[in-house]
Structure 1
């Protein structure tokens, strides 16, 4: 009997060990396109022996839909600020274990304790970006200072792209009309919708990955995220210009979260901790060209990046930017307008 118990204990230990090995082999990361460099991926896999399986999404709403289906297999995702709040309210996120994320101490406090997750129970910041307009100056040399110069410019007819993103694109039209991107006033949203329905006749495409379409000259201009615009500019020196419109735009903090029921929670925490290391962030800012969230990163960057106004807007510009907020039941106002815009 004692032999049987010992054997049973040994087998249980083996089973547990096998489970741990299985746990450590891979982690499923769902992230915006062009948001993690191949070098960082390779470094993490080499250091940990954990393979990163990467999938992409083009909007926060697309990520939400994937997770809501319940069979996404996602361990770690990178939703924007307001979507963290939406997903946490819907019980779609796992609470983070701070004991497994020692690099949390490196984060600049200004990016912690935000209104969408005041205790950072579910999220930690990954990068911040703005949204504005990118122009390929080989194709269009005219002035672009405002959303109106993009949305109502006859010279750009059939030559520009808008983000395939309900809140960003309606937000741009709201800003153009002098309203907040977070307006839930039906009259103001209807005015923004009318602006976009009129503009749609001249839009070449809705696209959230804009690097290639700008560099390949598929479009002369595009509503875009600053990180994509700067990556495009890096690939085509002197050709791509990024403008934050004079009416203002959006500022977003994208966050690392673990999806509810993640099959690889240990590996997920290891990935998050790795991505919050100083070495990883310096690589990330240099390659993705998004804003850093750690305390010491900016000072460690090359001077040309520290002085890049598109990467680090001045205070006057930052004051014109808004963070998109979750509007609860009133999100339906945006969703219904977007459905009409996309299907009209």
Structure 2
């Protein structure tokens, strides 16, 4: 089992001919979820900070028996609620062709939106499969929003790399299985910024100088405050008021006046079109943007240092899922090596499968340095938490937007 300080990496991919696709709307991660997610969970009975150290192992009380699959006949359909454009279409189509159930997909833009929908639907909201980020799983379990997974029906779990299993938020994988990992860094236009940028401090310095007015940051509270914490070697899960005050001063007074956009997916347009010169970005989206640029050599990707984040999205089943047998069958299906590779190829993030790096190399995927990271790089990444600082973080985000006028 890996600890939050011992996480994984990330990644992205591509085929020989770069795939042009819709923006990779994978998430708005911790920050936006904090806007309403933590409050929603508290309102429905949850407590605590929800840090990755939580240990959700008990079955939620009052859970209907239908939510646990037994290996019986598959129902005729599945409803999945996930981040947008987050599954290879060919995998979804193949599942229906091979197994029968038709898949209906709906997308959310943040964990907050996911949680709110499930709470409003008193657990399921009509969905079978959901894809929450790891830090939110303990509270979701405690509040009866997730059903336990019958791992006897997930035989293809054997194809997962053990280091991607047994995370602190669900040590026994009773409620979740890794879908994808990612991290945060930045890209810059080397024709406009001619010096080498290596760290978050370099990012901040360039943002206030040669890139001023041509800077974008992720549209996520935790990400923008993270720049300050990561640059200064501060735990980005801090609840220390003095450290948070310092982060606010930096973000609102120093950085924000130079920011032109809050853009969570610059890989969709900003990088290919050269709209901005310096962009905070998730690694998979950065890779897509560079691949789709007419002049890829113009762009330099930098993994944020000295530290940065690591996030993991997870396959999970909604409490009271109307089609639990089909939901289990689908999760088992996507964990086969061939389907894992297809999803790495499509979404651009590491899926946690065994030997996926070798498979990606054999398949001819390029830019793998943005897909598979070294142990030294992985050691610099840390998962986020949902804690008592969330509201302050959101307040800083709102003040930054006002200061930027973006």
Alpha-carbon deviation of 1:242? 1.9
Partner of 2:266: 210
Helix, strand or coil at the partner of 2:138:
helix
**Structure 2: how far apart are the matches of 1:253 and 1:46?**
29
**Structure 1: how far apart are the matches of 2:297 and 2:105?**
31
**Structure 1: how far apart are the matches of 2:100 and 2:190?**
44
Q: Work out whether residues 184 and 304 of structure 2, in 8 Å CA contact, stay in contact via their aligned partners in 1.
A: no
Partner of 1:158: 213
**Structure 2: how far apart are the matches of 1:207 and 1:74?**
29
1:20-40 CA deviation, whole Å, 9 max, x = no partner? Answer: 78x423422322x44222222
Alpha-carbon deviation of 1:220? 2.5
Q: Work out whether residues 231 and 287 of structure 1, in 8 Å CA contact, stay in contact via their aligned partners in 2.
A: no
**Equivalent position to 1:28, from 80, 90, 103:** 80
Q: Which runs of 5+ in 1 are unaligned?
A: 1-19
Partner of 1:55: 106
Greater helix fraction, Structure 1 or Structure 2: 1
Say if 1:259 and 1:179 are closer, same or farther in 2 by CA, change over 3 A. same
Say if 1:323 and 1:27 are closer, same or farther in 2 by CA, change over 3 A. same
Alpha-carbon deviation of 1:178? 2.6
Partner of 2:198: 145
Say if 1:322 and 1:79 are closer, same or farther in 2 by CA, change over 3 A. same
Residues 1:310 and 2:370 aligned together: yes
**Structure 1: how far apart are the matches of 2:327 and 2:118?**
16
Say if 1:89 and 1:168 are closer, same or farther in 2 by CA, change over 3 A. farther
Q: Which moved more, 1:193-202 or 1:125-134?
A: 193-202
Q: Work out whether residues 186 and 281 of structure 2, in 8 Å CA contact, stay in contact via their aligned partners in 1.
A: yes
1:166-224 CA deviation, whole Å, 9 max, x = no partner? Answer: 22332222112331111111111121122221322222222222321322333223211
- Measured on the aligned residues, the alpha-carbon RMSD in Å equals 2.6
Larger Rg: 1
TM-score normalised by the chain length of structure 2: 0.71
Alpha-carbon deviation of 1:140? 4.7
Q: Which runs of 5+ in 2 are unaligned?
A: 1-72
Alpha-carbon deviation of 1:339? 4.1
1:47-92 CA deviation, whole Å, 9 max, x = no partner? Answer: 2333333333333334333333337543322222212223223322
**Equivalent position to 1:281, from 309, 320, 340:** 340
TM-score normalised by the chain length of structure 1: 0.83
